């Protein structure tokens, strides 16, 4: 009798076991995707910091050739200071306003850098300076890295936010991960359709 009952209940037991195991995998999706998005944000910050680190050398090089361009040099220095003051750590990624402040400061710095690089057109000696050319090349590479890091962050956030809003992640978000909120994404800034010009 016991063997017969077991044979009848075995398929139900296997089905419950399979659902439980698949549910455990679903449980891990939200924290895994959250950590992936945070890691991508760290890449974004790292690349913006790399750009900020290049600016003092670039300003110093241009300053040696273009002393009369004090307004442009000052604007770049001030924009860099503002951009490096605004920090967004992983715990603030759900705050769209904080991310917008960060993005606005970085956009202001991008604009100031564009004006600085445009100034070099007036100084042929500067344009041929090896240090300036190396810095310009590094800056161009950094802008590309920033674009890739932002794209990767946006994709990681899209995946995470979608999981929070769709089944079965919606169930986990409503029960065990109630404190998890959708993360903020970058939004296009004015003039985003036009890439910054860093070539000479």
Sequence ranges of the domains in the chain? 32-175
Q: Residue 52: pLDDT above 90?
A: yes
In this structure, are residues 147 and 20 in contact, taking their beta carbons and an 8 Å threshold?
no
Q: Which of 94-98, 115-119, 169-173 has the highest mean pLDDT?
A: 94-98
Nearest to 117 by CA among 52, 64, 73: 73
Higher pLDDT: 53 or 17? It is: 53
Which CATH architecture group holds 32-175? Up-down Bundle (1.20)
pLDDT value of residue 78: 95
Mean pLDDT calculated for residue range 67-81: 90
- Please give the mean pLDDT across all residues of the chain: 85
13-31 tens-digit pLDDT:
555 544 554 555 578 899 9
In this structure, are residues 143 and 44 in contact, taking their beta carbons and an 8 Å threshold?
no
Residue 120 to residue 126: CA distance in whole angstroms: 6
């Amino acid at each position: 009798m016991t063997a017969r009952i077991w044979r009848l209940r075995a398929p139900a037991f296997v089905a419950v076991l399979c659902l439980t195991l698949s549910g455990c995998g679903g449980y891990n999706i939200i924290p895994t995707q959250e950590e992936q998005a945070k890691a991508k944000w760290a890449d974004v910050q790292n690349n913006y910091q790399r750009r900020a680190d290049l600016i003092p050398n670039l300003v110093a090089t241009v300053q040696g050739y273009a002393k009369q361009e004090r307004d442009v040099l000052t604007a770049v220095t001030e924009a860099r200071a503002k951009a490096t003051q605004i920090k967004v750590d992983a715990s603030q990624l759900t705050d769209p306003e904080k991310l917008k402040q960060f993005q606005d400061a970085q956009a202001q710095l991008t604009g100031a850098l564009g004006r600085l690089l445009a100034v070099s057109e007036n100084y042929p000696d500067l344009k041929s300076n090896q240090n300036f050319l190396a810095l310009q090349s590094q800056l161009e590479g950094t802008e590309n890295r920033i674009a890739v890091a932002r794209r990767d962050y946006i994709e990681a956030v899209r995946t995470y936010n979608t999981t929070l809003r769709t089944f079965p992640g919606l169930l986990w978000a409503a029960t065990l991960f109630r404190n998890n909120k959708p993360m903020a994404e970058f939004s296009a800034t004015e003039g985003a359709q036009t890439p910054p010009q860093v070539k000479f």
